[in-house]
Amino acid sequence: MTVSPLAVQAEGSAIALGRSAYGALCAVCHGDDAKGGGEVAELFEVKPPDLTKLAERAGGSYPFSEVYEVIVLGMEAPGHGASEMPIWGDYFVADALEDRGVSRSDAVSIAAGRALSLTYYLETLQE
């Protein structure tokens, strides 16, 4: 199978966007190295997990759909003491809606893309 140069470039761009989102939104809790030791990790009742071990904890295969779902919908189990992990899907939609002229459906599509980029980036961190 041949992969087009545009597909490779798109994949690289998605990972770069995910890396940027991780640094801006996730590193403060999960750490720059994604191992759970961010600047504020010690403030939580339940320490943020090591995101480099997601595939290992899932039996060796990166749980892409589950990771995407947690990013978009948050976690059921408390991860930050009395509160839950932020629901980044809602944040991404609200952030996109701040731009004038962006419809709700476009904002949802933009949010989905941002969450996908972050999911792809986390896949690259697996040990």
The tens-digit pLDDT sequence of the chain (127 residues) is 444 455 456 578 899 999 999 999 999 999 999 999 999 998 888 889 999 999 999 999 999 999 999 999 887 644 444 455 788 999 999 999 987 779 999 999 999 999 999 999 999 999 9
Terminus-to-terminus CA distance in the chain, angstroms?
A: 27
Which residues, in sequence order, are CB contacts of 7 under 8 Å at separation 6+?
none
Q: Hey, which bits of 1-126 come out as E strands?
A: none
Residue 83 CB neighbour total at 10 angstroms: 11
* CA–CA separation, 10 and 127 (whole Å): 24
* CA–CA separation, 30 and 14 (whole Å): 20
Structure token pair of residue 51: 């995101």
Supply the angle between the helices 64-73 and 104-124 in degrees, to the nearest 10: 130
Q: Hey, which bits of 25-119 come out as E strands?
A: none
Q: Structure pTM?
A: 0.85
